[in-house]
């Protein structure tokens, strides 16, 4: 599994040893390898994680989702928004570009689009992405579209006629992150890539970018009245149980009839739909100045055993007010909260002398964890190793493993562990250890 790698050195060592492709990788592993290799060459480089990352192949800065008039999503027609995507930045001069574009350059070791017969992406000045300078080339358009974009919902009738009915503003490019220097913490770099959503600067940049990509704003047909206020709430509990509510408030002096359709779909992190889990239809009569609620509930035991570990639940909601043709559309992502992998050391960390690292995990789900494995790595401490977990871990049961470590070098070190199983992936833990040389007294 790509999630089993805790560091790039073990991947490079396996490649050097076998002289063939190492299995398997995803964007985060390719990015990590690029970081290691570029730093070894003396080029400052870091990994960048973009949450809610758009794959907008036509560079329209618009993510299009399509629905039937009855409210069912036509998923295979959609542009995609990945849960996350990882690329790189390197710091160097750009004598090939106009003045002002030196510094951090973004490039993607997992390019998603073909340019002149080659899959490539970058290097593009981060400043150009922020300022909407899409004329520079080097895939600036694609990178800009990954972090900027509105979601437009369309209905498609039986003859293929499309009508835009709803728009969500600025839904991609969230919590952009890199590792902070010298600490195990997150450094937010979102402001390096884009201006604040409601700022004048952001509006000016989008207008400029639209000029380069030929996009015009989509006009949403307004209903005769928009007097029903919708709000979606709820989440997934640690057990995997899910309860989602659509609240509807009628602010008019007349009754309103609202047709609501909700469907939960198991989806890969790359937005590829897998299986439909549950759907709900309801007709809600809202009296004047009154509220109503439509809900969808899902037990963890109903779906957790059928999901891939890196899947999530996509919830599609469509509500239509009969009297006014007001439409509310939403697509939200819900995933089970990852538990913590607890790492604790016992004994002093002295060069050449073994000490114990205790790894603990409590299963929070309502189903057993099966097919588990534990991977551990620590430069200067422990070589990459993997332990297969033969027995299942029941609901609320604690898993504990003790691993002996013998430090090879003094200094402040990190030990990284990750747990994978059929139901969960990328459950990680880190512990910092101060290793000292043996006393000569």
Question: From the centroid of its chain, how far is CA 382?
Answer: 30
User: How many residues are listed for the chain in this entry?
Assistant: 441
- How far apart, in whole angstroms, are the C-alpha atoms of residue 434 and residue 308? 38
- Strand-pair category, 150-156 with 124-125: unpaired
Residue among 56, 79, 108, 170 flagged as catalytic: 108
- How far apart, in whole angstroms, are the C-alpha atoms of residue 316 and residue 336? 18
Neighbouring CB atoms inside 10 A of 14's CB total 15
- Strand-pair category, 256-268 with 242-250: unpaired
Sequence-ordered alpha helix ranges (H) in 214-350: 300-303
Residue 85 known to be catalytic: yes
Question: Strand locations in 287-371, DSSP E?
Answer: 291-298, 311-321, 327-334, 342-346, 355-362
For residue 28, the 8-state DSSP code is H
- Strand-pair category, 242-250 with 291-298: antiparallel
Query: Which residue has tokens 């989806």?
Result: 267
Q: Which residues contact 265 (CB under 8 A, 6 or more apart)?
A: 73, 75, 273, 274, 275, 276, 277, 313, 314, 315, 316
Instruction: Give the C-alpha distances (Å, rounded to integers) separating 137 from 112, 117, 123, 172, 211.
Output: 16, 16, 9, 22, 15
Residue 312 known to be catalytic: no
Asked if 413 contacts 406 with a C-beta cutoff of 8 angstroms, the reply is: no
Query: Which residue has tokens 């809202």?
Result: 286
Residue among 55, 85, 195, 312 flagged as catalytic: 85
Q: Which residues contact 93 (CB under 8 A, 6 or more apart)?
A: 102
Neighbouring CB atoms inside 10 A of 415's CB total 24
Can you tell me whether residue 78 is helix, strand or coil? coil
Residue 121 known to be catalytic: no
Q: Which of the residues are catalytic?
A: 27, 85, 108
């Amino acid at each position: 599994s790509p999630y089993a790698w805790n560091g790039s050195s073990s991947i490079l060592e396996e490649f050097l040893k076998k002289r063939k492709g190492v299995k398997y990788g995803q964007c985060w592993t390719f990015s990590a390898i690029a970081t290691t290799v570029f730093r070894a060459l003396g080029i400052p480089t870091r990994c960048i994680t973009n949450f809610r990352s758009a794959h907008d192949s036509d560079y329209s800065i618009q993510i299009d989702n399509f629905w039937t008039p009855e409210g069912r999503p036509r998923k295979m027609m959609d542009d995609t928004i990945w849960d996350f995507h990882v690329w790189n930045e390197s710091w160097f001069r750009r004598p090939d570009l106009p003045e002002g574009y030196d510094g951090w350059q973004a490039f993607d070791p997992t390019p998603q689009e073909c340019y002149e017969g080659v899959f490539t992406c970058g290097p593009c000045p981060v400043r150009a992405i922020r300022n909407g300078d899409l004329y520079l080339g080097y895939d600036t358009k694609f990178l800009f579209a990954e972090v900027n974009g509105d979601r437009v919902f369309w209905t498609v009738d039986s003859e293929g006629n499309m009508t835009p009915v709803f728009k969500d503003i600025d839904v991609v490019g969230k919590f952009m992150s890199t590792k902070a220097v010298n600490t195990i913490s997150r450094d937010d770099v979102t402001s390096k890539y884009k201006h604040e959503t409601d700022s004048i600067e952001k509006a000016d940049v989008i207008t400029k970018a639209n000029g380069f990509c030929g996009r015009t704003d989509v006009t949403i047909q307004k209903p005769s009245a928009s007097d029903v206020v919708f709000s979606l709430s709820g989440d997934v509990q640690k057990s995997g149980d899910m309860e989602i509510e659509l609240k509807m408030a009628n602010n008019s002096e007349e009754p309103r009839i609202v047709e609501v359709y909700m469907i939960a779909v198991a989806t890969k992190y790359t937005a590829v739909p897998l299986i439909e889990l549950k759907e709900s239809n309801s007709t809600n009569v809202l009296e004047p100045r009154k509220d109503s609620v439509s809900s969808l509930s899902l037990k963890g035991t109903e779906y957790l055993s059928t999901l891939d570990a890196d899947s999530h639940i996509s919830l599609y909601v469509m509500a239509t007010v009969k009297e006014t043709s007001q439409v509310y559309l939403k697509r939200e992502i819900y995933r089970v909260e990852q538990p913590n992998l607890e790492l604790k050391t016992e004994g002093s960390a002295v060069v050449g002398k073994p000490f114990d690292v205790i790894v603990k995990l409590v299963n929070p789900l309502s189903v057993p964890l099966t097919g588990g494995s534990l991977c551990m790595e620590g430069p200067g401490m422990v070589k990459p190793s993997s332990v297969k977990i033969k027995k299942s871990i029941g609901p609320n049961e604690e898993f504990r493993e003790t691993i002996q470590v013998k430090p090879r070098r003094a200094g402040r070190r990190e030990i990284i562990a990750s747990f994978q199983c059929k139901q969960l992936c990328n459950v990680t833990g880190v512990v910092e250890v101060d290793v000292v040389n043996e006393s000569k007294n």
